Amino acid sequence: MFDTVLVANRGEIAVRVIRTLRSLGVRSVAVYSDADADARHVREADTAVRLGPAPAAESYLSVERLLAAAARTGAQAVHPGYGFLAENAGFARACAEAGLVFIGPPADAIALMGDKIRAKETVREAGVPVVPGGRDPHLAEAARDLGAPVLLKPSAGGGGKGMRLVRDLARLQEEIAAARREARASFGDDTLLVERWIDRPRHIEIQILADGHGNVVHLGERECSLQRRHQKIVEEAPSVLLDEATRAAMGEAAVQAARSCDYRGAGTVEFIVPGGDPTSYYFMEMNTRLQVEHPVTELVTGLDLVEWQLRVAAGEPLAFRQEDVRLTGHAIEARICAEDPARGFLPSGGTVLKLREPAGEGVRTDSGLSEGTEVGSRYDPMLSKVIAYGPDRATALRRLRAALAETVTLGVQTNAGFLRRLLAHPAVVAGELDTGLVEREADGLVATDVPEEVYEAAAAVRLDALTPQGDGWTDPFSVPSGWRLGGEPKPVTFSLRAGGDPVEHTPRGTRTVTDGQVSVTLDGVRHTFHRAGDWLGRDGDAWHVRDHDPVAASLTRAAHAGADSLTAPMPGTVTVVKVAVGDEVAAGQSLLVVEAMKMEHVVSAPHAGTVTELGVAPGAAVAMDQVLAVVAPHEEAAE
């Protein structure tokens, strides 16, 4: 076993890897950018090395700086986690050339399986079924031969980036061009492939482990069908869809896929499965790294996958055979992301003011957060994962919903409440899943209306701050009771805003306010919230309730009278500015692009008009709701 391992990643996966290193008595080395100088993974590691400024290209993606950090600290091996350089064959080769063990598969296997076209051809020759499709340079011809609908996919990447579902072949060329742009921006390679689209498919993947002695085993499957924008958000093991025979057949296919590329370490073979016929399954791709959702497999098998990555990389053989692998109980994972469901799941950011992460029987939280963490827009939006285990699926679901209700991340909007409602959806409870379910049902799962008790709790906090403390005589004019000399009391009213239109709220219930909580009773029902600053939270949901100043708001409207202000939809960085002050623009014309957490958002003109103000340039960091530009409408548009 190694003495020292450098963890070439950040956030929750770095903390997760460090936990196993500590349990094995292996010294851990963390790396960090300037933005992560006080991050949790830095504090939990045995030692840490600064890489450079916050941009990933100058820190976590800098092969030269990572290798230098390993040399300075005496590391013998590098664990890449996932994301960043985890599936970069060049990085794996660079580690080997520097005399470091790359804790992952051989560089040739990474390169082969990273090319989706070559990967499909290789596993097909090994007898693994693949989805019918085609590739560049005959992409359009293959799409027309398959017939709509078809799915366009980048050959070089994953994670849903650049994927386009084409249901109308009249739009094929337009969709191909868009997919190429996103693939080039995300992976530096715009090569595409096209596959037959399977309606209401299920996404099922097989976890494999392979050592350097010729042993390959599979550890059962994970159901990953609950996705949004082709990104997994809930995963479970095992899948309710598969029977033992199908599980064994898919597992053997995954083993053959791994053998076809001389794989070593932990990897995942992903399949697409028609919901109506689980015996028909098709290879999609192989992820040559540890998966985000690996904890559910750990819980049902009792194996630590990170430990076995380390042991295999150190040259040890697997200590078990296929017949020794048993799946016991059920585990489900939910990914907590910095995003605002009420704003179309746009990335969010801010400082974590209050943090409460669930634990207890059958509950595990993998997290990179701590109070005071600054969640910015430079890195992936996933903050943590909450995983629940039970003897059966129903128990695991109940425990996970309860755990999400206990999750508190005030200061940053997250999707925890949305996930809790998703896990209570009848189709999810019944196990009737497919990859389009979340998109179809999302509107009904997003909490857009702010409950009255939220405003009541916010008003209670403000009343408490205004109320004089201590014993003795109190000046009646200093008490926020509405008392007036010689007249009827006038109720105290607060003008509040929680994301939507401002609300005038007059408290009418009883209240109890402490440092970290506020409870209000309305119509005989007691409601308790966690609180920090202007933030309130319960059951996984959070509200940022701010004071609304009508005078200031009217002055802002007056400053832009007859014009429309375009504001930043999320905290991020302006990457493209396509107009200048004085330009005439058409309704719907793209004016700017804001990027945050690997997501681009195009800001378009709300109507035809003239750009009268432009407050940003490419590279500018912007806050949510910051005014970016102003477009004065043409007279005809105004009319």
pLDDT over 80 (residue 636): no
* Same domain assignment for residues 284 and 378: yes
Tens of pLDDT, residues 282-302: 999 999 999 999 999 999 999
Its domain, for residue 503, covers: 452-469+491-547
Shared domain check, 309 and 368: yes
The answer to whether 454 and 543 have CB atoms below 8 angstroms apart is yes
Residue 494 has pLDDT above 60, yes or no: yes
Whether residues 266 and 372 share a domain: the answer is yes
- Cβ-based neighbour number of residue 633 at 10 Å: 18
Listing DSSP states for 163-209 in one string gives: -EEES-GGGHHHHHHHHHHHHHHHHS---EEEEE--SSEEEEEEEEE
Number of domains in the chain: 5
* 630 in the same domain as 596: yes
431 is a domain residue: yes
| Region 183-190 average pLDDT | 86
Do residues 70 and 21 both lie within one domain?
yes
**What's the pLDDT score for residue 467?**
78
DSSP string of 430-452? HT---TTHHHHHHHHHS--SPPH
Residues 37 and 173 in one domain: no
Taking every pair of Cα atoms in the chain, the longest distance, rounded to a whole number of angstroms, is 93
pLDDT average, residue stretch 92-106: 98
The Cα 226–Cα 445 span in angstroms is 14
Residue 341 lies in a domain: yes
Let me know if residue 395 belongs to a domain. yes
Beta bridge mates, 584? 610
Residues 275 and 416 in one domain: yes
Residues 139-154, mean pLDDT to the nearest whole number = 91
pLDDT of 639: 45
Last residue of a domain, one of 170, 196, 222: 196
Q: Which has more confidence, 55 or 467?
A: 55
**What pLDDT, on the 0 to 100 scale, is given for residue 560?**
52
| pLDDT tens for each residue of 391-415 | 999 999 999 999 999 999 999 999 9
The enclosing domain of 74 has a CATH number of 3.40.50.20
Backbone angles phi, psi at 498, to 5 degrees: -125, 55
Alpha-carbon 267 to chain mean position: 21
| Distance separating alpha carbons of residues 341 and 331, to the nearest angstrom | 25
The strands making up 584-585's β-sheet, listed across from edge to edge, are: 564-567, 627-633, 609-614, 584-585
- Considering the domain architecture, whether residues 405 and 511 belong to the same structural domain is answered as no
Averaged pLDDT, 545-558: 71
CB-based burial label for 361 (10 Å; 0-12, 13-18, 19+): exposed
* Same domain for 427 and 279: yes
Any idea what the CATH number is for the domain that residue 598 is in? 2.40.50.100
Q: Reply yes or no on whether the pLDDT at 637 is more than 50.
A: no
Whether 45 and 142 map to the same domain: the answer is no
Q: Which helix (H) or strand (E) segment is 150 a member of?
A: strand 150-154
- Residue at which a domain ends, from 55, 83, 103: 103
Give the chain's mean pLDDT.
91
Nearest to residue 92, comparing CAs of 308, 288, 291?
Answer: 288
At 276, is the pLDDT very low, low, confident or very high (cuts 50, 70, 90)?
Answer: confident
Mean pLDDT lowest for which of 73-82, 531-540, 598-607? 598-607
- Determine, yes or no, domain membership for 321: yes
For residue 552, tell me if it sits in a domain: no
pTM attached to this predicted model: 0.86
User: What pLDDT is recorded for position 565?
Assistant: 81
Res. 106: pLDDT tops 70: yes
**Residues 289 and 208 placed together within one structural domain of the fold:** yes
Least confident segment among 227-241, 281-295, 486-500, 519-533: 486-500
Report pLDDT for 635: 64
